[in-house]
Amino acid sequence: MQGRVEVLFRELVRDVPSTTYATHALYMYPAKFIPHVVRYVINKYTSEGDWLFDPFAGYGTVAIEASLTGRNAVLWDLNPIMEVLVRASTYTGGELRLSDFDIDWGGFSRPYRPPLWSNINYWHPREFYEVLSRAWGGYWHYAVPSELKPVVAIPLLKVTRYFSYADLEIAKLYRSREAEARVRELLRGGDWWSRLRELYWQYAGRPTIRLGITSPGGVPGRLS
């Protein structure tokens, strides 16, 4: 088409090194904005201290870029996980230690009562579901300090996904044959409980490197 101009945001925005820099790859999420597009709009149309509004925030790319550039952001999304991902990705609460990720796997002291839903085991076999439910119960109710909850949720979300029928290569939740084979192998091995805890700590070790971003001025933007 005559007059058409091709734009490569990766070339226009040289101060963004990759699509996964900072905390943009903290957790798998479908249809993410690449940060170069968001940074281009921020640089061209806003100034430090301005407010950004994203009504379809998704993973929170706008929030991360706002925090890195000293902007503020208002975020909306129908998916409630957005708040957890955004607050984890823009965490500025100081240096994290592995001990901050300690959770009580024995967990929640109340008796285990699975919801009376006919398809509750579509994503998790009962063996995994019971352990993960207790872990999440303790996480939400008392085991994790409120300021660390979004950060601790990341490795817990990852291990919850690994011990499920969800495919690990596709961001959108999808039950695949490969995932079903993974679950069968874990159950067949017998000692899946040790593997679960080992994998959790592997995941927990990665956010300690990626988190703690600040704006160039050292003061992160406000998020609402």
113 and 190 share one domain: yes
Q: Report d(CA 21, CA 34) in Å as an integer.
A: 10
136 and 191 share one domain: yes
Q: Report d(CA 163, CA 99) in Å as an integer.
A: 23
- Other Cβ atoms within 10 Å of 158 Cβ, number: 21
71 found inside a domain: yes
Could you tell me the residue range of the domain that residue 134 belongs to? 98-208
pLDDT of residue 211: 56
44 and 90 share one domain: yes
Retrieve residue 210's tokens: 């990626």
154 found inside a domain: yes
pLDDT of residue 137: 79
221 found inside a domain: no
Q: What is the pLDDT of residues 23-33, one digit of tens each?
A: 999 999 999 98
Task: Give the residues of the chain that fall short of pLDDT 70.
Answer: 1-2, 106-115, 142-143, 207-224
80 and 132 share one domain: no
Provide the terminal-to-terminal Cα distance of the chain, rounded to the nearest Å.
Answer: 42
pTM (predicted TM-score): 0.85
pLDDT of residue 209: 43
